[in-house]
Amino acid sequence: MARLPRLNLPNIPQHVVQRGNNRQVTFATDDDYIVYLDKLNSYALHHKVSVHAYVLMTNHVHLLVTPSTDKGVSKLMQSLGRYYVRYFNYTYSRTGTLWEGRYKSTLVDNEYYFLLVSRYIELNPVRANMVEHPKEYPWSSYHHNAMSKKIELLTEHHAYQALGGNKTERKAAYNSLFDNEIPVKTLEEIQSSTDKAWVLGSDKFKAEVEKLTGRRASPLPKGGDRKSKTYLKQC
C-alpha cells in the first residue's frame, strides 16, 4: 500500500514524532538538548509554528504544535533536522544520517484530544520507566504547563487557557489531569494515528478534515472485499 500523504492544515494542531535512525541516541549530553530547544524556538518563530508541548527523549522527540500555514510544520522539521544533524555530527565526529527518515505526524482535534496528547507527550519518560513522575524529567514542557517554570518556546493553546482564569488555576487544573492514567486503548490510538498518519479526533472532526483534504482521515473498516475497485481506489 502506498504511503499516505501527510495531512497539513493551517491552525490545526499536530502531534509530531521524530526518531533516531535504528533507535540510536540523538541526545548525549545536556548541551545537545539545549541546542535542540534553542533551534526549535528559532525555527518555530521563523516558520510561524506555535509549540504547545514537547518531550526530548534520548533517541526521539515528541512535539505538539500548531502551524499558521499548511507548510509550516514541514518547513520547521526540515530546517531543525538539518541543523541538528550538522551540529551532532560535528560535535561527535561522525557522518551520515541521524534521524529515521520522515517524521511522523497526525492532526489533533482541538477539544478533548488536545490536552490528552499534551499529557501523553509529557508522560513519555514515565512510560519509559525513566522517572516516576513527569516533574522529575527536565526536558519536557511539563515544567511550564504544570509548574512554575517559564519556557519562552511555548505558546499556550486556547484549550489549555480554558482550564482556568489565571496562570495558577490553569497550572493546577492541568496538573490534576495527571492524577488519572491514560487508558491502554487510548495510548494505542494515539500511537497508531501518529505512525500511520490518521487523524486523531471525533468523527465530526475527521469528516471535516476529509472534506478539506480529499483523503481518508481514518482506516477503512476491517473485512469486506479487499480487492474491490472501491477499496483499491482508496489505498
Give residue 226's pLDDT band: very low, low, confident or very high (50, 70, 90).
Answer: very low
Q: Which residue type occupies 180?
A: N
The whole-angstrom separation of Cα 92 and Cα 90 is 6
User: Across the strands, what pairs with 17?
Assistant: 62, 104
**SS3 of 55, please?**
strand
Count CB neighbours of 13 within 10 A: 27
Mean residue pLDDT across the chain: 92
Q: What pLDDT digit, counting tens, does each position of 168-191 carry?
A: 999 999 999 999 999 999 999 999
User: Can you give the pTM of this predicted structure?
Assistant: 0.91
Give residue 228's pLDDT band: very low, low, confident or very high (50, 70, 90).
Answer: very low
DSSP state of 6: P
DSSP state of 106: E
pLDDT score of 222: 67
Q: Which residue type occupies 98?
A: L
Q: What pLDDT digit, counting tens, does each position of 109-142 carry?
A: 987 899 999 999 999 999 999 999 999 999 999 9
Domains of the chain (ranges plus CATH)?
Answer: 14-202 (3.30.70.1290)
